[in-house]
Amino acid sequence: MSWEGLLSAFHEFGHVFYRLAYSGECNHGDHGNRFHLPLTLKQGALPVFHEVAGEALMLGSLTPISMQVVEAIVSVSGQNTLSRKNFPLAG
């Protein structure tokens, strides 16, 4: 997987989380209670927030700790295509 593919996956995961949060399907709290939203908010707040959620998760994945986890996974899989030279901002 390339860096672009990895970052795209994190971005898309942000979209999934956003959809789940606004649909009320995310568990909330330690007791597994459903997070209920008014019907008017179940389709999302604003379309731009949908993109912001994806970008925020993608940018959050660039932290040094996240990069260490990715490097550990890559080293176990033996497919080291995620080189720091290809993505200099990662650490």
Give the separation between CA 86 and CA 88, rounded to whole angstroms.
6
**CB atoms < 10 A from the CB of 18, how many?**
20
Give the separation between CA 80 and CA 10, rounded to whole angstroms.
18
Q: Cβ(1)–Cβ(81) under 8 Å?
A: yes
51 known member of a binding site: yes
15 known member of a binding site: yes
Of 12, 25, 55, 71, catalytic: 12
Residue 12 among the catalytic residues: yes
Q: Which residues are annotated as a binding site for Zn(2+)?
A: 11, 15, 51
Catalytic center residues: 12
